[in-house]
Amino acid sequence: MNKTMLNSLKYSLKRSIPIMVGFFPVGFAYGVMMADAGYGPLWTAISSLFVYAGSLQMLMISFFKSTMPITAIAVTALLLNSRHIFYGLSFIEKFKSYGPWKYFLIYALPDEAYSLLCSYKPIDGVEEKWVHIFSSALIWIYWIAFSTLGGAVGALIPFDTSGIDFALTALFVVILTDQIKAASSKLPCIIAAVSSVACIAVFGRDSFLLPSLCITVAAVMLLEPKIDKER
């Protein structure tokens, strides 16, 4: 590992510490919930390794307990994670220049990694490509490790899991708050909030996400000149 890569790793580790701290209670909670549903830490690790979507993994536990058809599960998973389509579109050109690493970065782009990649600021001695790769890899490792730990502890010690799934919602709120504070223009936030409330009223809480995202993206594109002036 050359000096630039080493510096990039140290920089990525430093930037990922807040997410590591946030992932501990969330990942641990998920592991405990899996154990409570009768799935051992190995299944928890496999789920975190291959599914790697906190909100979907939480929801999967109820899927396991139900008799929901696989088609319905697939559609629900698509709708729940449809926002990642927009995450990927914003980085598609940059990832193309990263060679084979682009496949890993496309996979390893949950909300927290997207937030970290968007907030990247160049500094001397590091390379953006390796910061993105190391940051994504570290976040992935944190999630696997903490969820597996929760699964192992949950299998040994019985827990009352009522309300424990709120840990994921709490983490999203913290990330959103930081993004709003850092944003030079608050207009996209206002558009997203109005769009979400309107779509919940029209489509309901179970179906609002995808139409809300589409409306928000379209509105932001139309108002891009105004948003640029506020930056």
**pLDDT number for residue 131:** 92
The string of pLDDT tens digits covering residues 77-130 is: 776 777 777 788 888 888 888 989 999 998 888 888 888 888 888 888 889 999
Q: In this predicted structure, what is the pLDDT of residue 158?
A: 73
Instruction: Check if the beta carbon of residue 152 is closer than 8 Å to that of residue 43.
Output: no
Question: Residue 118 corresponds to which tokens in the numbers above?
Answer: 């968007």
* DSSP letter string, the chain: --HHHHHHHHHHHHHHHHHHHHHHHHHHHHHHHHHHTT--HHHHHHHHHHT--HHHHHHHHHHHHS---HHHHHHHHHHHTTHHHHHHHHHHHHHHTTTTHHHHHHHS--HHHHHHHHT----TT--HHHHHHHHHHHHHHHHHHHHHHHHHHHHHS----TTTTHHHHHHHHHHHHHHHHH-S--HHHHHHHHHHHHHHHHH-TTT-HHHHHHHHHHHHHHTHHHHHHH-
* pLDDT tens column, 17-55: 988 988 888 888 889 888 888 888 999 999 999 988 877
